[in-house]
A and B are shown apart, each in its own frame.
Chain A
Amino acid sequence: MSASPRPSPAQAQTQARLDRLRGRALPVNHNARTIAALAANPGCSRRALMDAAGVDKQQVATHVGFPAPFGQSQFAIARGNAFEAQVKEGGAAQLLTLLREHLGLDVGQAHYHDLNDVGGNEAALVRHGRTRQLLTGAALSAPGEATGTMFDHPMLRLAVGGRHAYLEPDLIALQYQGRFHVVEIKSFAIIDGQADPAKVAAAAIQSAVYVHALRDLLGGDQGRVHYETILVAPRDFSSQPTVSTVDVRRQLTVLRRQLDRIASVEGLLDLYPAELTFDLDPDPGGRPQRPPGELAGAIGQVTANYTPDCLATCDLCFLCRDEAAGTTGALGRSVRTDLGGVEHAGQVLGLAAGTLPPSQERAEIAAQLTRAARLRTELLGTQLLGTQLLNTDLAT
């Protein structure tokens, strides 16, 4: 199964540390969503460490009392599947029309390979083997005798933290005499040429993961796979598909950096005691026995970087949000950037009300806050709230 080379003693030591972190549970494998989430919050040590070790974050979060009601809505999944089935109907007829217009495909380029199963076998490993065979064959074929255009649900593979993650893009299209394009089919609407930026960003990072994995499969050749991925989504309020291009160069850079970071997790491990573990101490029935307080203590040793975006991507989000309550970071990236250097909301209020004497490096931000507070008082005619909060906050 795993085709990774024989590990060096240092790597083996790191792996042993990671195994200890994970405890007795089986490692959780990555998928496109979790890899994308990793790249979305590169500053979070907690997530980086847990993902490198393959910790089942869902179970850990549940055990310490902060289960995340996580996963996609059933309705969204059903809608997404119906739209995908529609554009792939009849040998992906609708999609082919779009690709012909968009990529300038030759009329003869209408091959369609279904990689959802291999002769009825749906195992990831078998599908990956067949995908590799067909894609490299298509890449190497002579220009005149193309053997592949559209590859439906190919199975790609990416090494993350020493283990293989299997990834399944919606479609890969091969441009004639040219490069592969990753096609992502999404069911959110593109209305008047515009779509929800958050959803497009999520699709972009997901596509970047596929581009990276596909380049890996084709021997690391950057030029073989285009950095512009193709997003297919319903147009306006109809179910007619439309196509747009997403440039994923920036996402690829972030992703590469994140993957390197996981690969060089030793540096991060050195910051923490060797006996740190997120083991759940399961009984023979698999029920966790470890006292939740002890586990929470272990988690607390590793610093998190909570932002409201985490609520959409991380199983530990509720735990981290609870921890981050009262900090400026919990209010979002823009708030934290604006209030650079001030950690807690209470301190912000204190600086604004003038009850907290500003240190030298906070003088500038304090002046701005005081002005904002004065404007607020002038407009609303009320005094700034939170003096009470400030006192308790400073005491802790």
Chain B
Amino acid sequence: MAETIEALERRIDGLRVAVREAVLAGDRALASAHRASLKRAEQAWEDALVTATAPDAQTAPHAQAASQPGQATHPQAREPAEPTGSLLPLREQVYEALSLLQVPAAPKLIATVHEAFFGATFPTSRVTSLKRDEERSFRAAPFSRPYYICAALSADYLAPSRGLLAVSTWPLERRAIGSLSPRVDFLTAAIRVAEAIERIPEPPPAARRLLQRFAASIPGASSPGPATVKEAAAAELTVHKDADDRARGAAAARARPLAGAEQLFGTMSFRELAIQTSGRTAGRAAAE
């Protein structure tokens, strides 16, 4: 579980910066919100440390949590222990999963990865509103957070790519989605998941299942061992890499002059056009 601790440390550092900036800017509400997140992150770091030092007890908290509902005589007990919930805010859970994958991903994959490697899941429906909240927060105070959960950009129109989430600190090339990028990102995600599994001495069944699902759709990865999957995915990746890099590079070059919010959350021109024309096309759309 070293991954969690590292991710937490990065996040704690980021939150300290955020608290300082909020205090200096005189925004009390934001500062206290960041302080609360910082406190939670530090607590999570302590917990993760305990778990890491006692590998035998790794499953103990879950076992306790699982046995609790049976004896739950006090529904309003201190810190309701949900076996599948996490103490971290949603955006940080999404960030954890995306940091593991290192490619833009759909909410469903993000939730599955988080469940497999961080032991907590969240409803994918909440992720949709997350991106909207992030955009609102960015527009209100640009770059006041160390990172934002943002959009991947479609290479053709630089508009938000449907259903994909990314992290604002990634290079633009990684966030641009050309026609080969979905496949390239799928293969890259498979490699990242395989690597993550190799780092864990005893990977949880959910993680193995996830790898198996990747393996089923990669030619030559018949046995779902991490090494085989990595090798097979890398082999196919070499076929697509050059063409995909070119497409993404060109899109990124076009996206670079865009203003901050548009660069992170996609251009709006087409959506605005859609709203203007929707009056004329509504009748037709309704008949579809």
Contact = CB atoms under 8 A, between A and B. Distances in A.
Interface in A17-73: 26, 28-29, 31
Interface string A306-348: 0000000000000000000000000000000000000000000
A91 B156 contact: no
A198 to B, nearest CB: 25
Contact of B270 (A93, A114, A116, A121): A121
A78 interface: no
A112 B244 CA distance: 12
A26 B268 CA distance: 33
Given A90-B217, A96-B217, A123 B281 contact: yes
A200 interface: no
A98 B284 CA distance: 35
Interface in A91-142: 91-94, 96-97, 100, 107-108, 110-114, 116-126
B287 A123 contact: no
Q: How many B residues are at the interface, by size bracket?
A: 35 or more
B281 A108 contact: no
B241 to A, nearest CB: 11
Given A114-B162, A120-B266, A123-B274, A93 B186 contact: yes
Interface in B241-288: 243, 266-271, 273-274, 277-278, 281, 283-285, 287-288
B217 A28 contact: no
Contacts of B158: 119
A25 to B, nearest CB: 12
Label chain B's interface by main secondary structure. Answer: helix
A89 B109 contact: yes
Given A119-B154, A123-B285, A147-B179, A108 B240 contact: yes
A20 to B, nearest CB: 21
Interface string B193-236: 00000000000000000000000110100000000000000001
Contacts of B268: 120
A168 interface: yes
A130 B78 CA distance: 56
B100 interface: no
Given A94-B217, A112-B182, A120 B288 contact: no
Given A108-B239, A166-B284, A123 B267 contact: no
A116 B189 CA distance: 24
B217 A124 contact: no
A28 B283 CA distance: 10
B217 A97 contact: yes
A122 B158 CA distance: 16
B88 interface: no
Interface in B140-194: 154, 156-162, 179-183, 185-186, 189
Given A97-B217, A119-B267, A120-B266, A90 B182 contact: yes
B183 A125 contact: no
Contact of A29 (B181, B186, B189, B287): B287
A234 to B, nearest CB: 15
A168 B288 contact: yes
Contact of B281 (A28, A114, A125): A125
Contacts of A96: 183, 217
Given A121-B270, A124-B285, A166-B284, A93 B278 contact: no
Nearest to A130: B156
B108 interface: yes
Nearest to A168: B288
A307 B125 CA distance: 44
A122 B183 CA distance: 24
Most chain A beta-carbon contacts within 10 A, residue among B266, B267, B288: B288
B30 interface: no
A29 B287 CA distance: 6
B281 A110 contact: no
B87 interface: no
A148 interface: yes
A120 B271 contact: yes
11 contacts: A29-B288, A85-B108, A91-B181, A110-B180, A111-B180, A119-B158, A120-B270, A122-B274, A123-B281, A123-B285, A147-B179
Interface of B: 106, 108-109, 154, 156-162, 179-183, 185-186, 189, 216-217, 219, 236, 239-240, 243, 266-271, 273-274, 277-278, 281, 283-285, 287-288
